[in-house]
Structure 1
C-alpha cells in the first residue's frame, strides 16, 4: 500500500538486518531526512516517533528570543 503512493521515480533498496542492531538503527537515523523506512514496521514506527520527537525542538513555541 505504501509503495503505491510513492512516485515511480523513487528508488528502493532491500537489506537483511538483525532486528535490534544498533549500527543499523544509527544508519537509519543518519539517512532519515533523505529516506523512508517501509518495513519492518517496527523500524518504520520507531523512525516516525523519533522524527516527531525531534520536531518538538523546532516548533515556534520553543524558540528563545
Structure 2
C-alpha cells in the first residue's frame, strides 16, 4: 500500500486479484476498495478458506 501511495494519492476504487495465496487473500479488504475482482476459481478458493475461519477472524 505504501508503494501505491508513492505513485498516486487517490483512493482505491478497484482491486484485481490475479492469483491465490492462502495467507494473503483476506487482506484485499485492507485496500477499502469499492470493488474486488477475481476469477470464479479464485473466488471459490477464497470462500473455502473463509468458511474454515472462526467468525471473529473476518
So what's the TM-score if we normalise by structure 2? Answer: 0.40
Structure richer in helix, relative to its length: 1
Structure whose CA Rg is larger: 1
Q: Larger relative contact order (C-alpha < 8 A, sep ≥ 6)?
A: 2
So what's the TM-score if we normalise by structure 1? Answer: 0.37
